Every structure is written in structure tokens, then in C-alpha cells.
A and B are shown apart, each in its own frame.
Chain A
Amino acid sequence: MNPFDIKTALLAKHAQHIVLIHFPIALFIAGVAFDFLAQSAKRRALAGVAYYNLLGAAIFTLPVVATGLLAWQFQLEGQKLKGILLLHLVLGVTSAVLIWIAWALHVRARKHLESRLPIFRLGLETVAVAIIGLTGHLGGFLSGVNGPN
């Protein structure tokens, strides 16, 4: 495939969901890492970096969830899911919700300068990273990345 051929790239025979999913995963994990660093080092600059990474992750969940649902409708014609596919869907939606909650906690703290970030957010972010990891693991199986080329 010619990488400069836009039409071929956009209409490639792979689901865009698989391409896009890497962005929120990377941004969220980076955001959580910076949040932990900001908490331990008590640095506002690091907290700002965490905020923007979490913002990017939250924004990217929208096309990722949309393309995932479209893949379900187009590739499987919306048939009732079960097994790994159902688990991937449930964990994926849960991950998206947790990413938005984590980001919302940071937004609230930035809006009200006197309010501090709740410490429980670190636990929530850790759980979110674990669920995202499990979702990605199942997604890897489904995409065939572990299969023969």
C-alpha cells in the first residue's frame, strides 16, 4: 500500500478502531503516571501535564467508542454478542467512563482553586489502568495481532 495514497489508507481493510485505540491508552497511562509524580513531588506543573494528558485521553475515547460500535454494526451486523466480544465491549465502555471520571475530577480541582484533588482519584486511576489493560489484552486477541501474519 502506498502510504501517500489517502484514499487507500482511509479505506484499508482494517477497522479504524484498532488504529485509534492506542491514543487514549497511551495518553491515559501517561496522565496517570504524571499525576502520581505530581502527588509525590508536590509539583503543580506535573499536575498540569497530567491534566492535559487526561484531557487528550478523554477526547480520544469518543472516536474509539464510535468506531468500536460501528465495527460491531458493520462487521457483525449488530448481532448479539457473547464471550470475549461481549466482555471487550463491557470493559471498553467501563474504561471510557472511568477515563472521563478521572478527567472530571481534575477539571473540578482546576476550576475551584481552593479545592484539592481528592486522594481517592489515584486509586480510581489505578483501577482504570488495570481495566484498560485487560480490555486491550482482549482486543489484541480479537484483532488477531497474536495470530500468524
Chain B
Amino acid sequence: MRRSVLIAGLAAIAVISAGGIVGGRKSLAAGAQTKTASTAEVKIDNFSFGPTAITVAAGTTVTWINRDDIPHTVVSNDKVFKSKVLDTDEKFSYTFSKPGEYPYFCSIHPKMTGKVVVQ
């Protein structure tokens, strides 16, 4: 009796340990995937970028989507990135590989400004 209880206990420990290892691998894998395929979105609406400032990790792809009724552009102050004219529901994406601050504006409406901070 005591022997069978001992065997059952060891088996339970083995199953739990195995589950933990597999689960840990899964979470590690999931973390790596998130890191390589990280994205962020900036919405253009009512003559403003939302959020105005966004902080992302290096390698992140930021997508701007124009939800406004009129055309806008996304142009960085240093001309690092520059979109075409975005009509309603059109998108523009840029992948930030280097850390730094990237202020940008709409060239049609220069009062519209935003900033991407890459860490």
C-alpha cells in the first residue's frame, strides 16, 4: 500500500514537472514571437495623431491608419520615413530598427505632430 502511494506520488511529481517544462517552453516561445513580430498602431483622426507620442522597442513596426475624412501624410522631421498621401482608411507602416526619438508631422497640416520613441 505504502509502496503504491509512493509510486503514485512520484508519478504525479513527474507529470507536474513535465507539464511545467513544456509550459515554460511554450511561454518562452510565445515571448520570442511577440518580440520579433511586435507592432503598434497610430490612428489619425480629427486632425491629430493618436497617441501623440508612442514608445516602442527597436524592431517594432508602427502602422499609421487614416480614420479621418480628409487626406493626411506621415513625414518624419529628419526625413527618415515619409508616407504618400493617405486617404481615408489607408495605412502606412515603418519598422524602427534604431533607438532614438522620431518626431513626425503631416505635411499637408504641419500643425499635426507626433513622436515615436524607440528604446
State the A residues within 8 Å of B (CB).
Answer: 13-14, 75-76, 79, 81-85, 141-144, 147-148
Chain B: interface secondary structure? Answer: loop
* Least Cβ–Cβ distance between A75 and chain B, in angstroms: 5
Q: How long is the Cα–Cα vector from A141 to B108 in the complex, in angstroms?
A: 11
24 contacts between A and B (CB under 8 A): A14-B110, A75-B107, A75-B108, A76-B73, A76-B85, A76-B107, A76-B108, A81-B85, A82-B85, A82-B87, A83-B71, A83-B87, A84-B71, A141-B69, A141-B70, A142-B71, A144-B109, A144-B111, A144-B112, A147-B46, A147-B47, A148-B46, A148-B47, A148-B48
Contact A142 B70 (CB under 8 A): yes
Which residues in window 39-78 of B have CB below 8 A to A? 46-48, 69-71, 73
Contacts of A85 in B (CB 8 A): 71, 85
Contact B85 A79 (CB under 8 A): yes
